[in-house]
Amino acid sequence: MNVLLISPLPPPAGGMATWTQKYLESNKSADIRIFLVNTALTGKRANRIKKRYYFHEVKRARVILSRLNKMLSRNRIDVVHLNCAVGRFGSIVKDYLFALTVKKYKVRLITHFHCDVSDMVDSKTDRFFFRRLVDISDAVLTMNGNSRKFTYSVCGKVSIDMPNFISDEYFDSETFEKKLPDTVGSVLFAGHVKTAKGCDVIYKTAELFPEIRFNLLGHISDEFRKMSKPDNLLLLGEVTGERVKNEMLKADVLLFPTHTEGFPYVVIEAMACGMPIISTPVGAIPDMLENNGGILVPVGDVSAVAEAISALQNKDLREKMACWNRQKARSCYAADKVMDRLFVVYNG
């Protein structure tokens, strides 16, 4: 089978780019022939994601469309897998143009939304192009229950839940030998250090627990570089995936008070590393943790986060959550298991 991916690769780093990289590295990908049209941000937009560069984006879209046409005209493609973030500044329009190009060649199209669609499709223009993109897709993949319900209510089409996945290195024996301390001594956050990820809540929470270390991994926004921080909070910046895993194995709790998500890799990785998790109930996170793997807190609620940390001082509770998270990650989010599900869609 020949599969064409329309998807970004790092750099810059991001959830969809990480998915593409893991897809290409998975053992199952060796069973098919993969072609790739890389849709990664380039130039100024790669470094300043929120900045609007309309002329540059139009030019970039034209380049991608040219590559897509060449790929489809020169190769026998069985299935096109289009990854969509439904971001701001007209990206849904661009994805719709890619989809129209695919259908011009009469190739089956799978559209995969890597976000909480109900949060991102919030204007009349977005809804217009979202409906049309879903309508011309042969199958639609979504990442959580909210997105599935939204897609059905807006478009009348049933989407297929498809979780993110992690590599087998997270399931080696050493990962499962983590020893839990009697009390919580360190809290970890991994992601873009910005307000949309709830990092202002982490700063305020750290002030309430001077005896606990708060380590933040990830790109640091200008806002947080300039912000004064408590002495027990450390900004470690962008690090390798191996460093993230090592920090997770050392930390006691993952704190992830984000405002919106699709299916966050950081939560899967923390589950596989045996971490209890404190997070907001956004995107797929409630489905991932159910009522067993962590404590869910409202967005922006410092008091609820503080109460959750206090509750997790109970070692038995942390042990139960850690064990449950490891088992759930292995059974549901291992690369081979998710890729098997994806191949069923391809073959269907």
Chain segment 282-336, per-residue pLDDT in tens: 999 999 999 999 999 999 999 999 999 999 999 999 999 999 999 999 999 999 9
Q: pLDDT tens across 200-233, in order?
A: 999 999 999 999 999 999 999 999 999 999 999 9
Question: Contact 165/337 with Cβ under 8 angstroms?
Answer: yes
The confidence score (pLDDT) of residue 14 equals 82
The confidence score (pLDDT) of residue 160 equals 97
pLDDT(81) > 90: yes
Distance in angstroms (rounded) separating the CA atoms of residues 66 and 57: 14
Element (H, E) at 337: helix 335-347
Give residue 78's pLDDT band: very low, low, confident or very high (50, 70, 90): very high
The identity of residue 66, as a single letter, is: S
Distance in angstroms (rounded) separating the CA atoms of residues 235 and 216: 5
Residues 6+ apart with CB under 8 A from 55: none
Question: Contact 200/219 with Cβ under 8 angstroms?
Answer: no
DSSP class of 231: T
Distance in angstroms (rounded) separating the CA atoms of residues 324 and 326: 6
Q: Average pLDDT, stretch 229-242?
A: 95
- Identify which has the larger pLDDT, 89 or 126: 126
Q: What are residue 110's DSSP bridge partners?
A: 81, 139
DSSP class of 198: T
Q: Average pLDDT, stretch 235-248?
A: 94
Q: What is the DSSP string of 258-284?
A: -S--SS-HHHHHHHHTT--EEE-S-TT
**Average pLDDT for the chain:** 92
The confidence score (pLDDT) of residue 46 equals 45
Asked if residue 12 has a cis previous peptide bond (ω within 30° of 0), the answer is yes
Q: What is the DSSP string of 292-320?
A: TSEEE--TT-HHHHHHHHHHTT-HHHHHH
Helix 91-104, helix 124-136: angle, nearest 10: 20
Asked if residue 286 has a cis previous peptide bond (ω within 30° of 0), the answer is no
DSSP class of 168: G
Helix 124-136, helix 145-155: angle, nearest 10: 90
- Cα separations in angstroms, 10 against 16, 42, 114, 181, 281: 9, 10, 16, 36, 28
Q: pLDDT tens across 164-192, in order?
A: 999 888 887 555 567 789 999 999 999 99
Q: Average pLDDT, stretch 341-347?
A: 95
